A and B are shown apart, each in its own frame.
Chain A
Amino acid sequence: MSESITTKNVTFKVFRFNKDTDYLPYYKEYKMEVTSEEVVLDILNRIKWEHDGSFSYRRSCRHGICGACAMKVNGKGTLACKENMLDLVELFGDEIVIEPSSIKRAVKDLIIDKGDFWEKHDQIQPYLISEIDEHPEMECAVSPEESERLLEADLCIQCGACHYSCPVVELNEDFIGPAAFVKAYRFEADVRDEAHNARLEEVGLPSQGVWDCVKCYECAEVCPKEINPIEKITKLHNMIFDAGISNNKVAERHAVGFAHSIKKHGLLDEAELVRYSEGTVPMLVKHGKVGFKMFTKGKVVMPWNMPKSDKLDEIKTLVKSSMTSKY
């Protein structure tokens, strides 16, 4: 405990809003001296206790377990009880903006309506589905190896940090979102679960499902429990192919198209990939204009000019021998 405590003067701009009485939100400024021992939640408490008793936010466990205190500091999603305040000052400078996880869902100050988050969970049957013998003769044992397959998806505290950092959740209200995908994976990977295809079909549907993920890695970056949701999303993609329930939709053909192209050229034939994924006519309708502009600028390689990797035979051999999926 010999490390000395440091302090810093910080200006906090805090999101304030009461859905019942305010037409628009506003930011209230508080200047405070912050010590290196304080986490963000300490600052929120001080605002409430020393400045304005009506300031509202959720918290409960204060130990990164309940997931109630998720919010954003200068746009970075975090748990208020976990993140050291001065670490954030180091990152963002001494003007700190504190906002709810999702501004458009704000109800009172940092408290949001998390209804959509729970609805998405409901949608993927977030529980074990299994015919249970009411009078079992022995326990249903799960080996350590089998439980490792969950890849710690079961450690999710449902704080919503990933969900409300996901750009697709922000734009498309049908999108199931990273947290519910994690939950879907948690049960799909459970050896006792028997729902399999029903749940997988749900997470594979266009617009709402895994194919609409833009692969931005925001969810992996933000998760305070280091759960890496996009890793689970990739696993769900793999499971959909393995279960043979992918049905030739654009996105699925897009993923498979890579393997075809690599086998042929080593490289990706960009134009051919689009054609294979979408079909010739939809491709021309959707991309014809942009494609033509690109062509005039020398950005389209004709099939007869397609470059090939050297030692293409090696690539062909490996594609043949290492392929683990069939389509």
Chain B
Amino acid sequence: MGKLQYALFTGCTAKESTPEQLKSTYAVAEKLGIELIELSEASCCGASHLQDYDDFLSLVLNARNICYAESRGMTMVTICNTCQLNTAMTKHRLDKDPELKARVNEKLAEVGLEYKGTSEITHFLYAIIDDFGLDAIREKVVTPLSQFNIAPFYGCHNIRPSELQNETHRSAENPYNPNSLDDLIIALGGVNVDYEEKNKCCGFHAELQAPKTAAALTGKALMGAMDANADWMVTPCPLCHLKLDTQYEHASHAVGRDVKMPVLHMQQMVGLALGCTPAELGLEHHVSDVDFV
């Protein structure tokens, strides 16, 4: 296999409230021999809220981000579920609607850019499963996670709507019974925990406007993982991570019971098994302490 190369769309969260996620992404890429070229020109994807205010502006900005992956001739890799959804949705809409694409390109022309539709867009989780392969990852494991029960938390925007999501990766995922994270846990030697909330919403996107709903959803997710005897949770989405890692007080209050456990980013989990140090994975940034390393 030649060296894998991707254009990395970091999103905003990785540069602000989840610095550990960016660190661990690079740490894992290095262990796997994957080259990531950061799309330093990229703007925020609008996080599924800008489109509520101005759908067209959201399309133009996301199309611009994709242009920079296209100009490098690379597949765009995202490390946030919501970035993935917004960017892939933009691509899907522009590719199937020439009239809309022309309107967006008219704007992009003002800054000398053109959206062509030549780059694929996939989440880092699926990139490593599809392109690197679970078997190859298994071979790289130096510290199997065999003493851990790990609860996968998939995050809505990587699995729904499945019609769109399954255009962006080769390993099929069913939103009612997803398996990618479970397979990854197993490949790293860990024990995957099954629980009802693994494919449900953490409530992040209503955090400000509907705090009670958001806290209840986070609480239910933490509770489900705890009751299934998980030692910790793992998620590919930094927004889910923020909810699960930092909001346990609101969450506990909402479900009437203390719910708290360590939550790892998908990259941190892979990194642990591949022999990265806690510092390389930024474990000190967690609010719910990672006490098992």
Instruction: Name A residues whose Cβ lies closer than 8 Å to a Cβ of B.
Output: 74-76, 91-92, 167-168, 171-172, 206-207, 211-218, 220-221, 228, 234, 237-238, 241, 249-252, 254-256, 258-259, 261-262, 266-268, 270, 274, 277-278, 286, 289-290, 293-294, 297-301, 307, 309-311, 314-315, 317-319, 321-325, 327
Please give me the residue from chain B that is nearest to A324 by CB atom. B56
Shortest CB distance A207–B (Å): 7
Q: Is B287 in contact with A297, judged by CB distance below 8 angstroms?
A: yes
A167 touches B200 (CB 8 A): yes
| Closest B residue by C-beta to A313 | B111
**Nearest neighbor of A218 in chain B, beta-carbon distance:** B160
B217 contacts A214, CB within 8 Å?
A: yes
Contact partner, A314, options B64, B206, B208, Cβ 8 Å? B64
* Contact residue among B44, B174, B213, B217 (Cβ-Cβ distance under 8 Å from A262): B44
Is B64 in contact with A290, judged by CB distance below 8 angstroms? no
B43 close to A258 (CB less than 8 A): no
| Known A-B contacts A167-B217, A294-B287, A309-B43; A315 and B208 likewise in contact (beta carbons under 8 Å) | no
B237 part of interface (Cβ distance < 8 Å): no
Contact indicator A322/B60 (Cβ below 8 Å): yes
The answer to whether B107 and A216 touch across the interface, beta carbons within 8 angstroms, is no
A277 & B210 in contact (Cβ 8 Å cutoff): no
Taking a contact as CB atoms closer than 8 A, the residue among A216, A249, A261 that contacts B160 in the complex is: A216
Contacts of B217 in A (CB 8 A): 167, 171, 214
Quick check: is B171 within 8 A (CB to CB) of the other chain? no
Contact yes or no, B249 A289, CB < 8 A? yes
We find that the number of chain B residues with CB closer than 8 angstroms to chain A is 65
Q: Does chain A have a CB within 8 A of B35?
A: no
Apart from the given pairs A214-B214, A277-B208, 18 other A-B contacts in the complex at a CB distance below 8 Å: A75-B196, A167-B201, A212-B209, A215-B205, A258-B53, A261-B44, A267-B12, A268-B47, A270-B13, A270-B16, A274-B208, A286-B211, A289-B249, A299-B16, A299-B18, A299-B246, A311-B41, A324-B54
Which A-chain residue is minimally distant from B254 (CB atoms)?
A171
In whole Å, how far is B285's beta carbon from the nearest beta carbon of chain A?
Answer: 5
Kindly state whether residue B190 has any CB partner on chain A within 8 Å.
no
With an 8 A cutoff between CB atoms, is B144 at the interface? no
Asked if B161 contacts A213 (CB within 8 A), the reply is no
Are A241 and B53 in contact, with the CB atoms below 8 A? yes
* CB-based nearest B residue for A278: B208
A298 touches B19 (CB 8 A): yes
Cα distance A86–B218 in the bound complex, in angstroms: 34
Q: How would residues 251 to 276 of chain B score, 1 for a CB under 8 Å from any chain A CB and 0 otherwise?
A: 00000000000000000000000000
Cα separation A322 to B57 with both chains bound (whole Å): 5
B27 interface residue, CB < 8 Å from A? no
Q: Which residues of A contact B216 (CB under 8 A)?
A: 171
CA distance A317 to B111 in the complex (A): 8
| B15-63 residues at the A interface, CB under 8 angstroms | 15-19, 40-44, 46-57, 60-61
Nearest B-chain residue to A297, judged by Cβ: B285
Q: Residues of B contacting A74 with CB < 8 Å?
A: 176-177
Q: Does B203 contact A (CB under 8 A)?
A: yes
A300 to B287, CA, bound (A): 12
Roughly how many angstroms separate A286 CA and B212 CA in the complex, as a whole number? Answer: 12
Residues from chain A with a CB closer than 8 A to the CB of B110 are: 317-318, 321
With A214-B213, A297-B284: A325-B50 Cβ-Cβ less than 8 Å:
no
The answer to whether A318 and B206 have CB atoms under 8 Å apart is no
Determine if B281 is an interface residue (Cβ-Cβ < 8 Å): no
**From residue A10, how far is it (CB to closest CB) to chain B in Å?**
16
Please give me the residue from chain B that is nearest to A246 by CB atom.
Answer: B53
Known: A255-B49, A259-B53, A290-B246. A220 touches B284 (CB 8 A): no
